[in-house]
Amino acid sequence: MTVAKTGAEHIASLRDGRTVYIDGKLVPDVTTHPAFRNAVQSAGALYDFQAQPQNIELMTFLPEGSSRRVNRAWQMPRSYDEMVQRRKALQAWAGVHCGFMGRSPDHVASALVGQRMGIDVFRKHSPDRAKAFMDYFDYATRNDVFLTYVIINPQAERAKDWGQQTDDLVARIVDEDSSGITIRGAKMLGTSAIMANEVLVANLQPLKPGEEDLAFSCALPINTKGIRILSRKSYEASAVSMFDNPLSSRFDENDALVYFDDVKVPWDRLFVYRDTDVCRQQFHDTHGHSYQNYQAQIRLSVKIKFLIGLARRLTEVIGTTKIPSVSEKLGYMAAQACMVDAMLSGMEASGSKSGEFWVPNKHFMYSAQVLTQDLYPLLVNSIRELSGGALVMLPSSIEDFKDPMLKKIIHTTQRAAAMGPEDKVKFLKACWDAVGSEFGSRHQQYEMFYAGARFVTAGHSFRTYDWNSATDMVENMLSSYSLADELGEGKH
């Protein structure tokens, strides 16, 4: 056995009989199917990266009582220094996919880390459910499990409560016995479900009294009988080649609807049971929501750095870098990127102890979410503006290079001071894949809404800001003078 989980181990674990559908057909093996195989290899590359001898100390730690190292995503920092050490590992992992795998293994692991820190929430709910959660967390940690989650409900009739939706739309408890509960219905968005080992099923959206059948949380292997995964269109399958689509051909982690067709959940995998408020508490009264979104900002810092690199390289390719308005634009974009890094550092440095653990500054984290929801599409649009027509005047595909006459025309017309014609086409294809392709458009939508609509993220920011400190300053200033004093009445 190797010192840490490897890509080959992870890929082998996905050949488990899971039920995945795409284009109306059952997928016999996600590791070889043309819609998923490259993304699966990219997931495997993450584990190969952490297992490389030069990366072992950076990327992994040895859990107490374990004989094998696991990714630092499972580490529960007990100090500021440990939090920074963990963040550097997560940034290094994000660098492997340039930040484009939003539901990489460290995302849900981070959510569970934050929830485990708040185990008292589960204990107050039920000692048995708390034990189930702690046992599962230990299992997932020791085995370096790749988890996805489905924690929101399918969009339907928004005017109705979740409990009033059509039967079997929203996953709910339909039966129970001495061995566990049975659930039926759907949850979303199963991003990376195709290449994950297990799925956490929970409720991030608020539930109301009377919706107890919907109020549960559990974790299940993806290949559990009755779990049906309905994949969206695969951008990987639509990619012409790696040369034409270097990002979408490898990093399309996919999104999926997960339907639970009378799925049995054993009691030892059930963490919340028929309690609508504890479903909320699992994320917001523990540090789960803070840690999962802190991880998202870590990943996004890498992705934004990649976009800034594209922007700079783009101006070099088309020879506009020294134009004052262009260098000003690049400088502004660089400042925006550094703002994200600074907010990340601020979350950590202004963090605090919660019991024995170090947690990020919650308001700084929510502030970053609100600002980066706007920032990502702004950066994408800036790259479009800098490119002009460069991103549309490209050969149709790699096939054009196979024809000598077409190749000659390409070499004549795709000129650049900074690189040769083939390298220029290669770069511009990558740039388009990031900001203009269907894959790129999905990423813009993802970064704008993965944490919720604007009113949701702004609501978190509103609730967590220190308004008292701000308004006290106003009151103190106002109390330092009065109308009577100004009129001279206060002197008598």
* DSSP assignment of 183-214: EEEEEB--TTGGG-SEEEE---S---TT-GGG
Asked if 233 contacts 442 with a C-beta cutoff of 8 angstroms, the reply is no
> Mean pLDDT over residues 40-50, rounded?
98
Taking all residues of the chain, what is their mean pLDDT, rounded to a whole number?
94
Model-level pTM? 0.92
* pLDDT (0 to 100) of residue 456: 87
Percent of the chain residues past pLDDT 70, beyond the cut: 97
Token pair of 464, please? 């967590």
pLDDT category at 304 given cuts 50, 70, 90 is very high
Using the Cα atoms of residue 114, residue 118, residue 123 and residue 127 in order, give the sign of their dihedral.
Answer: positive
What is the band of 416 on the pLDDT scale with cuts at 50, 70, 90? confident
Report the C-alpha gap between 364 and 429 in whole angstroms: 36
The rounded distance, in Å, linking the Cα atoms of 468 and 459 is: 17
Tell me the percentage of the chain whose pLDDT exceeds 90. Answer: 86
**CB burial string 210-226: b at 16+ within 10 A, e below:** ebbbbbbbbbbbbbbee
Q: Is the pLDDT of residue 38 over 70?
A: yes
Task: Give me the residues paired with residue 170 across strands.
Answer: 186
**What would the DSSP string read from start to end of 57-74?**
HHHEE--TT-SSBEEGGG
pLDDT higher than 80, residue 463: yes
Q: What is the pLDDT of residue 71?
A: 98
- What burial class does residue 3 get, using C-beta atoms within 10 Å of its C-beta: 0-12 exposed, 13-18 middle, 19+ buried? middle
Average pLDDT rounded to a whole number, residues 267-290: 96
Flag whether pLDDT at 122 surpasses 80.
yes
The per-residue pLDDT for range 71-110, each reduced to its tens digit, is 999 999 999 999 999 999 999 999 999 999 999 999 999 9
Contacts of 36 (CB under 8 A, 6+ apart): 20, 27, 30, 194, 195, 231, 234, 236, 254
Q: Answer yes or no: are the C-beta atoms of 36 and 92 closer than 8 Å.
A: no
Q: What is the pLDDT of residue 189?
A: 87
The model's confidence at residue 192, banded by pLDDT at 50, 70 and 90, is very high
| Strand blocks (E) in 335-464 | 352-354, 357-359
Phi then psi for residue 465, to 5 deg, are -75, 150
State both tokens at 402. Answer: 């196979």
166: pLDDT strictly greater than 80: no
Encoding tokens for residue 246? 């270097």
Q: Is the predicted pLDDT of residue 492 greater than 70, yes or no?
A: no
Nearest to 111 by CA among 258, 253, 290, 271: 290
Q: Quick one: pLDDT at residue 288?
A: 96
Alpha-carbon 95 to chain mean position: 14
Predicted confidence at residue 167, as pLDDT, reads 74
Q: Could you tell me which of 363, 343, 330, 331 has the C-alpha nearest to residue 301?
A: 343
Cβ–Cβ < 8 Å for 196, 147: yes
Per residue in 217-230, pLDDT tens? 999 999 999 999 99
How would residue 491 be classed by pLDDT, with cut points 50, 70 and 90? low
Q: Which among 298, 238, 304, 270 has a CA at the least distance from the CA of 106?
A: 298
Longest dimension (CA), the chain: 100
Question: How many CA atoms lie less than 13 Å away from 401 in the CB half-sphere?
Answer: 13
CA nearest to 383, candidates 320, 315, 303: 315
Reported confidence tier of residue 406, pLDDT bands at 50, 70, 90: very high
pLDDT of residue 489 exceeding 90, the answer is: no
Task: Label residue 133 left, alpha or beta by phi (over 0 means left) and psi (-120 to 50 means alpha).
Answer: alpha
